[in-house]
Amino acid sequence: MGFGIILVGLALLIGVEAGFGVVGYLLIFAGCRKLSRIHDDFNVCACLALLNLPYSLVSGLTLFKILPQGNLAVNCLNVMHFVFSAAMIWYFCIRIRAIAISGDDEKLASSALRNALMSVMYYLWTFLVLVLPFMRNTVMVGILALFKYLLIACGILFLLSCGAKITTPSQIAKENRENSKE
């Protein structure tokens, strides 16, 4: 259905600063497009994934010293990345929450809300560290990095449960038939 593709893309976002996000966001785009066959609202998530591509590309180029670090364009891309990533994750989780509520799955609905709130908190915290110089100390940045990995781990577990609880055997069989025709 697309959850597996999104899961691999999310795992690649661990190395978003090294340029792995280019592939990660493309996989998230492809997974959201597959999910949009079931529900059109996932097209918004797909578009937001594409809007994150420039950040990942520029991050990789600055890491390898091809582009200078700290210029205005890079800082603007950072801010845009925070906004687009937070919006993408929020929108995805809220769509999953709506599907879970319609299917009477309160546990999945609460997991979706938890992931949405954790993601917004992470991106707000990252933005504050970027904007406020007194927050740029080693301890704060280290805690933020640990929170990022916790968030990605929670996202992976969330996607696994989405694939298990939302995808039905008939949907899997239908998708396999469609894939064999191509």
Q: How many angstroms separate the CA atoms of 154 and 114, rounded?
A: 9
In terms of C-beta density within 10 A (0-12 exposed, 13-18 middle, 19 or more buried), how is residue 65 classed? exposed
- CA dist., res. 137 & res. 117, Å (int): 25
pLDDT tens by residue, the chain, 182 residues? 688 899 899 888 877 777 788 899 999 999 999 988 878 889 999 999 999 988 888 888 887 777 777 677 777 888 888 899 999 999 999 999 998 898 888 999 999 999 999 999 998 888 888 888 888 888 888 898 899 889 988 988 998 888 888 776 656 666 666 667 76
Give residue limits of the domains in the chain: 3-173
Residue in the structure block whose two tokens are 């989780």: 93
Contacts of residue 110, Cβ cutoff 8 Å, sequence gap at least 6 = none
**123 neighbors 80 (Cβ within 8 angstroms):** no
- What is the pTM for the complete model shown? 0.82
- Distance, first Cα to last Cα, the chain: 16
Asked if 112 contacts 157 with a C-beta cutoff of 8 angstroms, the reply is no
